[in-house]
Amino acid sequence: MPMPSLRAWRFLRELDEPPDWVPVAELLVLVVVAGLMIGIALTAWLSSRVHVAQTEVLNLALGTRANMAEYYAVHGSWPESDPQIIWPGAGESGGKYVNTIHVRPGGAVDFVFGSQNAELAGQTLTLRPWQNSAGADLPIAWLCGRAQRPPLVTNVANATTLTTAQLASPCRKH
């Protein structure tokens, strides 16, 4: 086998060394990847703030639902307004993200968000009680937001103003 010429050795050596534009391309790839990661992280952070506020609603709803169920057990009907329900701070919330809690006819409970989260400010999430109209001795269940009402259940108006993207999965219409 013949020995390669000096010119051939130079050519092979040049192939082992990257061209001058390679560091610029690596930098561009790094900037694009970093930008994508920042975009994903920012979206997740903003989404988590909305979900934290909704978690507060569900935590506040625990006490509210118990008081509503007690009222229903005693009176045989749902309360029509705030003064009929006795809980600390009726009409207020005591939460960080929820500004007020209101009871509407039919037992619907509206949680109105305050200005702590600009994306949710002034918007409402509604919890609606339901029982099978065929059997009053069945347990009370609660519909959150735009969750679909089962058949044979009396309808209570939904006042939820959050977008579908802002709603937690159980509160979306399925």
DSSP H or E stretch at residue 128: strand 124-130
pLDDT, tens only, 33-69: 888 898 888 777 766 777 777 777 777 777 788 888 8
Nearest-angstrom CA–CA distance, 66 and 68: 5
CA angle 131, 81, 67 (to 5 degrees): 55
pLDDT, tens only, 111-123: 888 888 788 888 9
Say which residue, 158 or 7, is predicted with more confidence.
158
C-alpha 50: how far from chain center: 5
Residues 6+ apart with CB under 8 A from 48: none
Which pTM was predicted? 0.66
Nearest-angstrom CA–CA distance, 85 and 102: 10
Superfamily for the 25-171 domain:
Glycoprotein, Type 4 Pilin (3.30.700.10)
Which amino acid is it at 80?
A: E
The predicted pLDDT at position 90 comes to 45
pLDDT, tens only, 69-99: 888 888 888 888 877 776 555 445 567 888 8
